[in-house]
A and B are shown apart, each in its own frame.
Chain A
Amino acid sequence: MTSIDVTHPASRAAGRDPMLTVDDIHVYYGNIAAVKGISLTVFPGEIVTLIGGNGAGKSTTMRTISGLLKPKRGEVHFEGKRISGLKGHEVAERGIAQSPEGRRIFGRMTVTENLELGAFLRRDKGAIAADMDRVFELFPRLKERLVQKAGTLSGGEQQMLAMGRALMAEPRLLLLDEPSMGLAPVLVESVFETIKKVNEQGTTVLLVEQNALVALNIANHAYVLETGRIILEGPAKELAHNDEVRKAYLGED
């Protein structure tokens, strides 16, 4: 394991308590280990990104955080409380929303119904309406498609909807799994602009990406994954200039 230790945990924390801590989790699909001891920390207000190629264990880590998978070993804590072992909907109740890999919008429901389902756990009608307006501000395209069935949207619009739906839950931590997947480059840029905007409005973001360049561009802190382990971590700006990262993930010689 090559590691350039560019982390200064004390300075990164800056006196804050971590929002999310993943502590040495091991996750298996049957007998096959997909994640072999990953630890990571997200502080409030940050954008943290997990980058790495196919099969690195990025999505598995995300699914473990959101309660869809159970770690065989290790624990996940959110705002000081243990969330590993909780079911998916219980994790959602704690204030974590996910825009899953492959978007997974509700295809035969309208855009509005999709967004309403994002707010499934909330009962404050007025605030829900206000948040819907906020989503439309972030994604004006969605507003033009309100009554359209989500399954008929373009790929980019579906990605916007998946993110908007997650935001409707009013999460304190937003998990984004491959938001750039299958999008045209120009759309990727605008989606990442939006992620930055969402973060600036106060939502902490944990972002999984194959497109390392754009992810490192907007993130505060980054972890590089390979075959189920973290091989590198540090401030995103520094990792973006790391030779090894540039070689492996940015396609430079």
Chain B
Amino acid sequence: MVAITTLAIFLLVAAGLHFLNKASLQKAAIGGVAMAVAFALPHLWFTTETDGYLPLFTIVLCAVYALFALGLNIVVGFAGLLDLGYVAFFLVGAYVGAWFMSDFAVNVSKHTLTMNFHFLDAASHKIPGIHLSFWIVIVIAGIVAAFAGVVIGAPTLRLKSDYLALVTLGFGEILPEVFRNSDQLPGNLNLTNGTKGIGPVDRVGMGFLHIIPGIPKTIVSSDYRTKYYVILVFCGLFVWVSVKLRDGRLGRAWMAIREDELAASLMGVPLMRTKLWSYAVGAVAGGVGGAFYATIVGTVNVDTFTFSFSIIVLCAVILGGMGNVWGAILGAVVITWFNYTGLTWIGAKINNAAGTKFNFINLQFGLFGLVLVLMMLFRPEGFIPAARSKQVKKAEQQTLANLEVGE
């Protein structure tokens, strides 16, 4: 079944790319293979439930981080605004998920003790609290995150490059602290449950989709395969949105700002509005990913939202190739795999071979730093450079070659 579907996806995508987008055969084939592999991944022989070098949980996280990287790529890659506080949108999305898909509402204040609101959800109606359908929550999370993007962006986007980076970093640090301490607000109001976190988060209901064979009515917590497909759909959607925006009027405006803000303004590009759009659209991915993350892990704990998250997603974008949609995905997959499985797996191999007991996890950030430095030295444009930087580099090399011949 999976094999047949995979083959069908490959043929459809390859043919579609070739005929509809007039891509070369080679490109169409690569696209088809990538899509087919993405689809078949959780069913391949080397994927395992929990351990080994490709456990299902890691695959799901790879896809979630790919969504985050796609979002940050719009801000950093397309519009050229260095954002070191992407964790803020992840946090907002996760808390929206937790608020609207758990019994937490009864803890908010003494007036909400009996709150019991259910709407198209997959939870038992005996559980109090607010329980909305996951699909509605995802939309709310996207909207709230976009709103947060505009709120954070409006005062900060007036700043240039380094200053912007510093202020976004500040916001990324402040927001988790605010949420950590919003459990005992005046009037005995508890909005975030502080360090205790919020959980359990409801399961994802598949609604009418479950009439399709193979799709369950609700996704149980160990069903990583279905979770993976859900997030894959969101990744696909966001790829489509990214590409459409990039090639449209807004994308051109972003690129103009990235290249030269002053010149863009002279061409009539409204700087503030255009930058805010990039923040808002980028934040949507963070919010959606955050809400989905809440359902995968089951509880939302404020300790999850650290500065290192922002850096990891930024690394993914830089590693993959700033401004390239496919690069961002590849970068995210590579980084996430190393982060959650690769390091321990490779470390165990090395320890076994050498008879040592070295803890490679402790080296995590040192290794990431090293990788980034090496990338900057040997391949600064990333794994898959954006098409335009590739061409400029080629032209530069030609000019250099011409100069050398001239001498």
A residues adjacent to B (C-beta < 8 A)? 66-68, 87-89, 92-93, 97-98, 100, 104-109, 113, 116-118, 120-121, 148-149, 151-152, 165-166, 169
Cβ–Cβ contact A87 & B268, under 8 A: no
Cβ–Cβ contact B270 & A169, under 8 A: no
Q: Shortest distance in angstroms between A167's beta carbon and chain B's nearest beta carbon?
A: 12
Query: Which chain B residue has the least Cβ–Cβ distance from A92?
Result: B268
Chain A residues near B371 (CB-CB < 8 A): none
In the complex, the 5 A-B pairs of residues with the closest C-beta atoms, listed nearest first: A88-B265, A92-B268, A152-B395, A121-B268, A106-B259
Q: Shortest distance in angstroms between A181's beta carbon and chain B's nearest beta carbon?
A: 15
| 24 A–B contacts from the bound complex (CB under 8 Å) | A68-B265, A68-B266, A87-B265, A88-B265, A88-B266, A89-B267, A92-B266, A97-B266, A98-B266, A104-B260, A106-B260, A109-B255, A109-B259, A109-B388, A113-B255, A116-B252, A117-B264, A117-B267, A120-B253, A120-B269, A121-B267, A149-B395, A151-B392, A169-B267
Cβ–Cβ contact A117 & B252, under 8 A: yes
Cβ–Cβ contact B270 & A104, under 8 A: no
Question: Contacts A148-B395, A151-B392 known; A92 to B267 CB distance under 8 Å?
Answer: yes
A184-B259 Cα distance, complex, nearest whole Å: 26
Chain B residues near A106 (CB-CB < 8 A): 255-256, 259-260, 263
Chain B residues near A97 (CB-CB < 8 A): 266-267
Beyond A92-B268, A100-B262, A118-B267, 6 additional contacts (C-beta under 8 Å) are: A87-B265, A89-B269, A108-B255, A108-B259, A113-B252, A120-B253
Cβ–Cβ contact B266 & A87, under 8 A: no
Chain B residues near A152 (CB-CB < 8 A): 392, 395-396, 399
Question: Contacts A109-B259, A149-B391, A152-B395 known; A93 to B268 CB distance under 8 Å?
Answer: yes
Q: Shortest distance in angstroms between B260's beta carbon and chain A's nearest beta carbon?
A: 5
Q: Mark B375-394, 1 if CB is under 8 A from A, else 0.
A: 00000000000001101100
B388's partner among A66, A118, A149 (CB-CB below 8 A) is A149
Question: Contacts A97-B266, A107-B259, A169-B268 known; A120 to B252 CB distance under 8 Å?
Answer: yes
Chain A residues near B395 (CB-CB < 8 A): 148-149, 151-152
Question: Contacts A104-B262, A149-B391 known; A87 to B256 CB distance under 8 Å?
Answer: no
Chain A residues near B252 (CB-CB < 8 A): 113, 116-117, 120
Chain A residues near B348 (CB-CB < 8 A): none
A153-B255 Cα distance, complex, nearest whole Å: 19
Q: Shortest distance in angstroms between A213's beta carbon and chain B's nearest beta carbon?
A: 27
Q: Is B271's beta carbon under 8 Å from chain A?
A: yes
Question: Contacts A120-B268, A121-B268 known; A105 to B392 CB distance under 8 Å?
Answer: no
Cβ–Cβ contact B271 & A88, under 8 A: yes
A149's partner among B263, B265, B392 (CB-CB below 8 A) is B392
A116-B388 Cα distance, complex, nearest whole Å: 16
A192-B42 Cα distance, complex, nearest whole Å: 65
Please provide the chain B residues from 354 to 407 with a CB less than 8 Å away from any CB of chain A in the complex: 388-389, 391-392, 395-396, 399
Q: Shortest distance in angstroms between A115's beta carbon and chain B's nearest beta carbon?
A: 10
Chain B residues near A87 (CB-CB < 8 A): 265, 270-271
Cβ–Cβ contact A120 & B267, under 8 A: yes
Q: Shortest distance in angstroms between B385's beta carbon and chain A's nearest beta carbon?
A: 11
Please provide the chain B residues from 91 to 150 with a CB less than 8 Å away from any CB of chain A in the complex: none
Chain A residues near B249 (CB-CB < 8 A): 120
Chain A residues near B260 (CB-CB < 8 A): 104-107
